[in-house]
Amino acid sequence: MARLERLKMSAVLATVAIDRLIDGVVFTVLVAVVLTLAVFPDPTGNLRLGLVVGAVGSLLLVTALLWLLAQYKRGMADAASLLHRLILRLPGSLAERSQALMASFAEGVIWPAARWRRLAVVLSSIMIKLIAATHFLFAGLAFGVLLRPLDYLFLIVFLGFIVILTHFARLAGGFIVGAIFALGLFGVTEEQALAMVLVVQISSLISVAAIGVFALWREGVAIGDLQVGSRGSNDGR
C-alpha cells in the first residue's frame, strides 16, 4: 500500500504503530469496565488478579511506548538533539541512510489535529471491539447459547490476553483452548463452546479474505504486486 500510494514505508509503519498503541489503550479501558461491572466465575481468584495485572502492565507499557514515540519525533525535529548527535557518529554513508530512514519514520508518528478526527479514531477502536463481541453472540445463538451482555465483553478481554500470551509463547490453538475454557466458566458445554469458536474463526477468516480480495481488486492490486512490494520494502520507499 505504501508503494501504491507513493508513501514512505517507514512512515506507514509508524502510523500503524500509533494505531496499535491507541487500540491498546482502548483495550485496557475495556478491561477496567469488565473488572468493574462484569460478574464472572473465578473459583480460585487468580483470574481476576491476572486481568488486573495484565491491564495495569499493558497500560504502563502502551503509555511508555507512546511517550517514547513522542520524544523520538521531537528529537528528530531538533537538529541539536542527542538522537541527531548519535546518528552523526555513524560512518558517513550509514549515517545518511539511517537519518533518512529515521526521519521518514518520524513523519508517520502523527495524531490528527482536528478534535473530531481524534474522537473518531477512539470511537472506531471501541466499535471494533463491540462488533467483535457480537461474533460470539450470534455464534452462540446458533447453538442455543445466550449470555449476558457484559459476559461477551469478558470473552473479548480474556481472549485478547490469551492471544497475546500464546503468540509470544508460540503456542498453537491458544485462542480455541482459551475460548472453550472461558465459555465453560458460564456453563457452556465443551461441544457447544468448540462449535462456537470454530464458527467465529471460520467466519472471520472468510470475511477477511473476501473483503481483502475485493479491496485489492478495487485498488488494482494483484497478489504478484504484493510480492514485489515485500521484496522492495527495504529501500525506504
Contact 11, 109 (CB under 8 A): no
Closest to 81 measured CA to CA, from 71, 91, 90:
71
Q: What are phi and psi of 110, to 5 degrees?
A: -135, 160
DSSP type of residue 114: S
Tell me the pLDDT tens digit for each residue of 200-211. 999 988 998 888
Tell me the pLDDT tens digit for each residue of 140-149. 999 999 999 9
Q: Which residues contact 201 (CB under 8 A, 6 or more apart)?
A: 175, 176
Sign of the alpha-carbon dihedral angle for 86, 89, 93, 96: positive
pLDDT beyond 80 at 96: no
pTM above 0.85, yes or no: no
Tell me the pLDDT tens digit for each residue of 171-194. 778 889 999 999 999 999 999 999
Q: At what angle do helices 149-169 and 174-185 cross, to 10 degrees?
A: 150
Q: At what angle do helices 9-37 and 92-107 cross, to 10 degrees?
A: 50
% of the chain exceeding 90 in pLDDT: 35
Can you tell me the distance from the alpha carbon of 52 to that of 6, in angstroms, rounded to the nearest whole number?
Answer: 43
Average predicted confidence (pLDDT) for the chain: 85
Lookup: cell for 232: 522492495
